[in-house]
Amino acid sequence: MQLRIGIRWRSGAGEELIARRPHSAPQVRRTPQDAVEIARRLGASRTNEELAAELNRVGLKTGTGKGFNVASIQWMRYAYHIDRPHLLAPGELSVKQVAARLAIAPDALYFWINQGQVAVRRTAKGRLCVPFTSELEQTLRQRIAKSNRLRLRNQNLTVGETV
């Protein structure tokens, strides 16, 4: 965008200056479009560390002129709605998802995992992934039914209702 500035001197002479309007601070710090396009293309299959390494390898910089790191990739994913890699494999659920499906507290499931009664896969970041099959669901439901300690959680109760 250009600015036109008119100057009228005391002598009656006039001048006109044309200047480019400076970009706003957010525009100056915006992530380069090349980096956003690469991140969109690779985002669903790469971790933040891998994506930062790829953008740095290509020689791209953040909007502030620095190399990419995990924090800048996290921000870019948020700001530009870039997909994240799926941590759960097909057929896997998180501990929280399994507990909700069985209507029990996650602590009970963690106890079974620690006792070696439920097999899990641990991701590189330490997250637990439960290979949830119909057989496992049936086994856990039987264990819950036989238990004197576990109480089913019912999230659909209204005030005054009991299980």
CB environment 63-73: b (16+ within 10 A), e (fewer)? eeeeebeeebb
The DSSP line for 37-106 is HHHHHHGGGS-HHHHHHHHHHHT---TTSPPP-HHHHHHHHHHHT------SPTTEEEHHHHHHHHTS-H
Q: What is the pLDDT along the chain (163 residues), one digit of tens a residue?
A: 788 889 999 998 999 988 888 778 877 788 999 999 999 999 888 889 999 999 999 999 998 899 999 999 999 999 999 998 888 888 999 999 999 999 999 999 999 999 999 999 998 778 899 999 999 999 999 999 988 887 666 544 444 444 3
pTM of the model: 0.52
Q: How far apart, in whole angstroms, are the C-alpha atoms of residue 32 and residue 56?
A: 13
